[in-house]
A and B are shown apart, each in its own frame.
Chain A
């Protein structure tokens, strides 16, 4: 009886876990589609994303102290290091690190924090999409 309850509890937990996973997990390309939809709705003159523009954006300090590359390096397919704490950072490019850009809430959280740190304002859908296009283009 006890075992049955334990096993069914385990199955239920597993099923919930899977549901949770499938509800939140996306591919980087799907995330890119979200940025595309937001840019179509909100960015005047939007004509699509550019990996080249994303690369420039990524490496620019935008008039402040930091760029994205300050921590993620100019080769975001490789490991990075936090500019302040020295903490190792796993590769940002989904080409090198398949876990990247598969959790929309996590991507939102970090874009929100890091755009504020680097630019002092939120990034536009255009900028996020350009950066993701750049990161997805690496190693190709």
Chain B
């Protein structure tokens, strides 16, 4: 092998590995963004999870959680009042693990996760009738399609859109 050929083999190997590594990192990054680290809080799980899935704190910014927790007596049309100690504990947990960066980019005062720009963007391929299906009922029913939502895993691998 002459020097030019050696150089060519070396360059190709380096570039191929670099491209592959970038690809792996990208995939990993995208997957990690939709699998929320398992932050756990028993009170949050029990109280928030009794009428709907306990939405991961990473889905709303701290200011939104603060407002949600201050209006529990009028919680999306239902009374979800909590004793002061439980509300304070859950509120602190939600705020300290709240959305940062892209997911935190919501209009001030947004309470609905489904109104956040990232939510709309990530669900733009879901056709309107799917949202109205009997087993879905409402876009707030994450588990209807995200079969692993209860574990905080919203990755595409777990998505099964009901027909």
Contacts and interface: CB of A to CB of B under 8 A. Distances in A.
B79 A84 contact: no
A112 B140 contact: no
A113 B52 contact: no
Contact of A86 (B73, B77, B79, B137): B137
A84 B51 CA distance: 9
A113 B81 contact: yes
B78 interface: yes
> How extensive is the interface on chain B, given as a class?
20 to 34
B124 to A, nearest CB: 23
A84 B144 contact: no
The B interface is mostly helix, strand or loop, or mixed, namely loop
Contacts of A113: 78-81
Contacts of A87: 50-53, 141
Contacts of A85: 51-52, 137-138, 140-141
Nearest to B47: A109
A26 to B, nearest CB: 19
A82 B51 CA distance: 7
Contacts of A74: none
A113 B144 CA distance: 26
A87 B51 CA distance: 6
Given A82-B51, A85-B52, A87-B52, A116 B141 contact: no
Contacts of B23: none
A59 to B, nearest CB: 19
Contacts of B119: none
B81 A82 contact: no
Interface of B: 50-53, 73, 76-83, 135-138, 140-141, 144
Interface of A: 82, 84-87, 109, 112-114, 116-117
14 contacts: A84-B77, A84-B78, A86-B135, A86-B136, A86-B141, A86-B144, A87-B50, A87-B51, A87-B52, A87-B141, A113-B78, A113-B80, A114-B79, A116-B79
